[in-house]
């Protein structure tokens, strides 16, 4: 499967980028360079926000890869609210300057999918995992290990996009969704998983190994 069906810029942003460019050119033409600066700044922001570069995917069937770019804000024992089990929770916070496409952390089949409408609290807050709008995937690896991957909307993010569903099989690094304008992704891993990152560390989707499964 082609993990990157579009060049460099995410298709979710093409409309935003196009209209931002038109607005910038129009403001330059009608009002001059000085007054067009805000429009050009917005255009540059849209381009950087919707960038979606291909990434190297590490080998290792038991490796859990980062599903998103961002900063690790939580690593702690927790109760998986979707599968009702004890687990280790790893949360990645994405600010507006991070790449916002989401990629599969493991090779596995989608056993279930849940969407839950909710609030739009600051995604860096831990309670966002339980109160914000979110979309969860239950993935099961070929070894029968369960991993829950949850897209969480943020304060500014108002649109969670997910392009896969129950019964589909995903490969590590496969692009499966997008969250617009600042958000969070939570992973619920088995307690025996060996965590390889620390709180505060910056990670890259598909190329950073977060953990090794038992």
How far apart CA 183 and CA 160 sit, in angstroms, is 9
Cβ distance 74 to 89 under 8 Å?
yes
Tell me if the domain spanning 63-212 has CATH number 3.40.50.720: no
Take residue 49 and report the two structure tokens written for it: 């926000």
Q: Give the chain's residues under pLDDT 70.
A: 1-7, 118-131, 154-158, 181-182
User: The pTM is what?
Assistant: 0.82
Q: Give me the pLDDT at residue 147, please.
A: 97
Catalytic annotation on 59? no
pLDDT at 119: 61
**What is the residue-wise DSSP string for 39-57?**
HHHHHHHHHHHTB------
All structural domains of the chain with their residue ranges: 11-49, 63-212
Residue 1 has a pLDDT of: 38
pLDDT for the residue 129: 61
For 51-126, where are the E strands, in sequence order? 63-65, 70-80, 85-94, 101-103, 108-116
Annotated active-site residue in 104, 124, 183, 206: 183
pLDDT tens profile 38-55? 999 999 988 988 888 888
Q: How far apart are CA 46 and CA 33, in angstroms?
A: 19
């Amino acid at each position: 499967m082609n993990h990157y069906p579009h060049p460099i810029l995410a298709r979710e942003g093409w409309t935003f980028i196009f209209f931002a460019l038109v607005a910038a050119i129009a403001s330059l033409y009608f009002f001059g360079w000085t007054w067009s600066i805000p429009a050009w700044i917005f255009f540059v922001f849209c381009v950087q926000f919707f960038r979606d570069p291909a990434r190297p995917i590490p080998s290792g069937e038991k490796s859990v890869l980062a599903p998103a770019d961002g900063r690790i804000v939580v690593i702690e024992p927790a109760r998986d609210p979707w599968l009702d089990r004890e687990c280790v929770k790893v949360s990645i916070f994405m600010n507006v300057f991070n790449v916002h496409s989401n990629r599969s952390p493991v090779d596995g089949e989608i056993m279930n999918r849940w969407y839950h409408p909710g609030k739009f609290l600051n995604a860096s807050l831990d309670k966002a995992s339980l109160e914000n709008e979110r979309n969860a995937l239950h993935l099961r690896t070929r070894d029968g290990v369960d991993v829950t991957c949850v897209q969480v909307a943020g304060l500014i993010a108002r649109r969670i996009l997910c392009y896969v569903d129950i019964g589909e099989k995903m490969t590590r690094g496969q692009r499966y969704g997008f969250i617009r304008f600042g958000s969070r992704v939570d992973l619920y891993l088995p307690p025996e998983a060996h965590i390889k990152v620390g709180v505060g560390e910056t990670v890259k989707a598909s190329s950073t190994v977060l953990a090794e499964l038992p």
